[in-house]
Amino acid sequence: MIYPYKNFSPRLYKINITYSVDYPFSYSFISLNEPDFFNTVKSTLTSIWCIEYKSIKIINNRIFLIEIINIELNLMIDDAYIKLREFLDQFPLGYPKTSSGVELRILKRLFSEEEAKIAVYLTPIPEETVKIASKIGMEEKKLEKTLESMSKKGLIFRSRRDNKTTFNSVPFMIGLYEYSVKKIDKELAKYYKEYYDIAYQKEMGLSNVPGFKVIPIEEAIEPNTTLFPYHKLKESIRKARVISVTDCICRKEAKLNGEGCDYPIETCLSFGVAAEYYIENGIGREISADEAIKIIEEADKAGLVHAGANSKHLSNICNCCPCCCASMKGITKKGLDKHKFMNAMFESIIDEETCINCGTCVERCPVGAIEMDDITVVSRKKCLGCGLCATACPEEAITLVLREDGEEPFNRFMEMGLAILEGKRKNLS
């Protein structure tokens, strides 16, 4: 029962709830007909149920109709999903709790209850089945079959080396989110968007340690620049042992939510053991180095930013658009500092004598870092060093140079993870 506040006329109201699987039921209570009644109803129901509603209406001044998209009793949420959420939240890029419970709805879409219970026994360090089975107390052959199934679903990572198969846990991003690219539908896309908007964008930028580095194509870089191997995108691609490509999960999610853009979609590249995982699980397809470079060049022409994990090792390349990319949206739509998301190793320099102020670079820049008045000027603070302005300049008046105050990528993923955890600790203290 909802008890009314100050002056009121008691009245019986009835909520008719239509569940997403056509399971209707009613909830009756006494309250008053006040402007704040809707908020009272919503806050009370939210404390009992995780609900997504379309509308609340008064019918004949007596019946309130709530059209529910999804509803589930908080008290009946299996403990396995709460434990899995807490487990995932321990990663450098965590999995924070929300008041709406959308993060639990995501997990329930991805994991069965049994899979959720098993996932928390894995670690970020690869382990063989026998070791995981000893922790769970489960028969090894049965567990092996379950772990293989979970890896094929993109719920955990699997690698095969020297006749050994190992499994390890993965974070929400980069991990569960990207691995769901072939099974994402409108419902899951909606959950992802809600979670990003209310919790995950903040989580991504909380440490002020960028998770991605921007890597321009070599043609945009000033010819006499001394480059390290991790600066040389095409050369690194040619040295990769195996390469895969799949659709961009960010653009796919946006389209399913009725938003999106017309940028190319099959643009997400993985290399080495990550590529093997994508290929073996049917998440991506194997391509040659020449095909990968062609994808990079076409993405560059289309105006996409080449970004990979902020380490010296090349494991992936996301060709990011300013409108859908999880990292780029924080910069372009929320106006947040680029350093929260992207490590800009380079910066654009304009030759004033060669520049004809045509404005091509202004339109080309994905983050609005270039302005044109009497002369064309680049904002160092905003510039990603992506080189899109340089490759489009008709006068070749723009080149990229390494930032003198730039940051090197991390030597290993573990170093980056520890830096993110430390950054979050400082910013939360």
Q: What is the pLDDT of residue 413?
A: 87
Q: What is the pLDDT of residue 190?
A: 95
Lowest mean pLDDT among 67-71, 140-144, 277-281, 287-291: 67-71
Q: Is the same domain home to 274 and 403?
A: yes
**CB proximity list for 319: less than 8 A, separation 6 or greater:** 248, 264, 267, 268, 269, 295, 296, 299, 304, 305, 306, 307
Q: Is the same domain home to 241 and 342?
A: yes
Judged against a pLDDT cut of 50, whether residue 15 lies above it is answered with no
Q: Is the same domain home to 246 and 384?
A: yes
314 found inside a domain: yes
Q: Which of 52, 55, 101, 100 is nearest to 81 (CA)?
A: 101
Q: What is the pLDDT of residue 287?
A: 98
Q: Is the same domain home to 315 and 214?
A: yes
Q: What is the pLDDT of residue 295?
A: 97
59 found inside a domain: yes
119 found inside a domain: yes
Q: Please report which confidence band the pLDDT of residue 119 belongs to, taking 50, 70 and 90 as the band edges.
A: very high
Give the residues across from 168 on adjacent strands: 157
Q: What is the pLDDT of residue 429?
A: 76
Lowest mean pLDDT among 58-72, 247-261, 347-361: 58-72
274 found inside a domain: yes
381-396 mean pLDDT: 95
Q: How many domains does the chain have?
A: 3
63 found inside a domain: yes
Does the reported pTM lie above 0.85? Answer: no
Q: Is the same domain home to 68 and 90?
A: no
Q: Which residue has the higher pLDDT, 77 or 221?
A: 221
Q: Is the same domain home to 327 and 230?
A: yes
6 found inside a domain: no
Lowest mean pLDDT among 4-8, 329-333, 404-408, 423-427: 4-8
What is the C-alpha to C-alpha distance for residues 178 and 238, in angstroms, rounded to an integer? 24
Q: What is the pLDDT of residue 39?
A: 52
Q: What is the pLDDT of residue 162?
A: 87
Q: Is the same domain home to 159 and 56?
A: no
243-247 and 285-287 strand pairing: antiparallel
> CB–CB of 166/128 below 8 Å?
yes
Q: Which of 175, 222, 162 is nearest to 390 (CA)?
A: 222
Percent of the chain topping pLDDT 90: 75
Q: Is the same domain home to 303 and 402?
A: yes
Lowest mean pLDDT among 43-57, 104-118, 245-259, 382-396: 43-57
Q: For residue 3, what is the DSSP state? A: P
157 found inside a domain: yes
Q: Is the same domain home to 309 and 283?
A: yes
> CB–CB of 179/170 below 8 Å?
yes
Which of 75, 96, 129 corresponds to the end of one domain?
Answer: 75
18-43 mean pLDDT: 43
> CB–CB of 69/53 below 8 Å?
yes
Q: What is the CATH number of the domain that holds 28?
A: 3.10.20.10
pLDDT digits (tens, 9 = 90+) for 63-112: 344 444 343 333 344 689 999 999 999 999 999 999 889 999 999 999 99
Percent of the chain topping pLDDT 70: 82
Q: What is the pLDDT of residue 8?
A: 36
339-349 mean pLDDT: 95
Distances (CA, A) of 4 to 26, 61, 252, 317, 408: 20, 17, 46, 56, 60
Q: Is the same domain home to 170 and 314?
A: no
Which of 26, 45, 75 corresponds to the end of one domain?
Answer: 75
> CB–CB of 285/244 below 8 Å?
yes
What integer best gives the mean pLDDT of the chain? 85
Q: What is the pLDDT of residue 91?
A: 92
**CB proximity list for 22: less than 8 A, separation 6 or greater:** none
Q: What is the pLDDT of residue 78?
A: 63
Which of 75, 109, 129 corresponds to the end of one domain?
Answer: 75
Whole domain around residue 406: which residue ranges?
A: 206-428
Give SS3 for 402: strand
Q: Is the same domain home to 211 and 311?
A: yes
**CB proximity list for 33: less than 8 A, separation 6 or greater:** 9, 11, 58, 61
Q: Is the same domain home to 144 and 228?
A: no
357 found inside a domain: yes
Q: What is the CATH number of the domain that holds 104?
A: 1.10.10.10
